Structure 1
Amino acid sequence: MSDRKPSPRSLKPAAKAKPGAGEVVLLSGGNPQIAKADGDAPVQAYIAAMPGWKRELGQRLDALIVQAVPDVRKAVRWNSPFYGVEGQGWFLSFHCLTRYVKVTFFKGTLLRPLPPGGTERSGEGRWLDIYEDGAFDGPQLADWVKQAAALPGWVP
């Protein structure tokens, strides 16, 4: 018998308690875990499960997107709401992180002015991080949404 202790990587993590019926699990950073599905209902379930101040922001974002693109297609993919145009692909998604909500434009490098978030490795994607104060330029965001919806979108 060895007196070596097992490495932390060799130990199995403790099982997590299963949520009750209808209860949404919040993943890292408070991001709601919502099953992959098409339509408005799963997006609204995601928004309803957003924690704290992020819920109101999710409602504002969803309303702004629908107003800018009335025939927008909605779905939840990878635990995030996705917005697209039928036959063109997805143009935008948002995701809860610990201190902010990230709004990602999949073809963001084609938008003018260029959205602020991006790195060398992010390819065409650009994003806007919105913090708890909720301050963002609504008209600019609506313009980016309209521009993004007019472009060929991302097709996984």
Structure 2
Amino acid sequence: MVARVARLRRDSRCALDPPYAVFALPAAGSECAGGTRAARAAADPPPGRDPPRRPRRQATATAVDPHRPRSSYPRSLSTEPEGAITMTRKTATPATPAPRKSPKASTHPAATAPLPESLNGKASPAKAATGDAPVFAYIASLPQPQRAIAERIDALAARTLPGLERSVKWGMSYYGVGDGWCFCCGAFASHVKLMFVNGVMLDPVPPVTPVAMGKATRGVEIASADDIDERQIAAWMKQITAVPGVGKRPQK
């Protein structure tokens, strides 16, 4: 028994105190003691040096207050409060403006003021100008049925009188052949007046004496295109252009 205990103490380096067996601490020169001392030396810094600092663990999450506005958190915060609604502002894309259409040059002037009941200075705001285009523009600006009547008179004059020239004067269309203007055509509220300068010389004399157009001027009032007597009007056109007109037309 004694030999067995001595062997156990030698092998395990422990002391047995009957009736209990307690492992003894390793002796000062034992391998276990050396290993423990070496581990402590490695763990404890040498005197005069600061112990090494442990690296800080980076926080992976930050407590979020669901009642705190999202804009107050740092930008590095990637977590959102549970149940929170994220509002994203949508950048408005500027609408591409539609290409503007270049206004087409119109040969027809805008509609003028209501037609006058009678001649009082000017029959319309049309500006005085010589040539076919101003007369065509004046006729095109008229309402119906005055436009249809004026177009019929203009076409009849073009067929009847070779070398017909046109002009706009006093807001009406004037026609002539030779040295002056011989007759005119103006639109009014209820009719179109066809007036012949020196109409008292015509046969038969036209029945209407226009106001403010001179004592020798005579003409007819036409309420609709159906009232146009082309045969009689063409005869008057030929008669009136056979005598000198009024107003010298500019030379071209």
Higher relative contact order by CA 8 Å / sep ≥ 6: 1 or 2? 1
- For the pair 1:89 / 2:180, whether they are aligned, the reply is yes
Residue 238 of structure 2 is matched in structure 1 by: 146
Q: CA deviation at 1:28?
A: 3.8
Distance 1:60 1:73 in 2: 16
Compute the RMSD of aligned alpha carbons. 2.3
**TM superposition score normalised by structure 1:** 0.78
Residue 56 of structure 1 is matched in structure 2 by: 148
- Larger Rg computed on CA atoms: 2
Residue 113 of structure 1 is matched in structure 2 by: 204
Q: Name the one with the larger strand percent.
A: 1
3-state SS, counterpart of residue 58 of structure 1:
helix
* 1:12-41 Cα shifts (integer Å, max 9, x gaps): xxxxxxxxxx52423542854221111100
Correspondence list, 1:29-44, <5 A: 29=116, 32-44=124-136
Unpaired runs of 5+ residues, structure 2, are 1-108, 118-122
Q: Percent identity?
A: 32
- For the pair 1:23 / 2:110, whether they are aligned, the reply is yes
Q: Sort the Cα spacing of 1:125 and 1:98 in 2 relative to 1 into closer, same or farther, 3 A.
A: same
Residue 36 of structure 2 is matched in structure 1 by: none
Q: CA deviation at 1:123?
A: 1.3
Q: CA deviation at 1:117?
A: 0.9
8 Å Cα contact 1:24/1:32 also seen in 2: no
Residue 191 of structure 2 is matched in structure 1 by: 100
Equivalent of 2:227 in 135, 146, 149: 135
Q: Sort the Cα spacing of 1:154 and 1:52 in 2 relative to 1 into closer, same or farther, 3 A.
A: same
Of 132-141 and 54-63, the range deviating more from structure 2: 132-141
8 Å Cα contact 1:93/1:104 also seen in 2: yes
3-state SS, counterpart of residue 29 of structure 1:
coil
* 1:66-122 Cα shifts (integer Å, max 9, x gaps): 111121110001110000123x21100011111100000011001101111127984
Q: Name the one with the larger helix percent.
A: 1
Letter in 2 for 1:149: T
Distance 1:59 1:146 in 2: 19
Distance 2:211 2:189 in 1: 23
3-state SS, counterpart of residue 127 of structure 2:
coil
Letter in 1 for 2:180: G
Q: Sort the Cα spacing of 1:61 and 1:127 in 2 relative to 1 into closer, same or farther, 3 A.
A: same
Q: Sort the Cα spacing of 1:123 and 1:41 in 2 relative to 1 into closer, same or farther, 3 A.
A: same
Unpaired runs of 5+ residues, structure 1, are 1-21
Number of residue pairs aligned between Structure 1 and Structure 2: 135
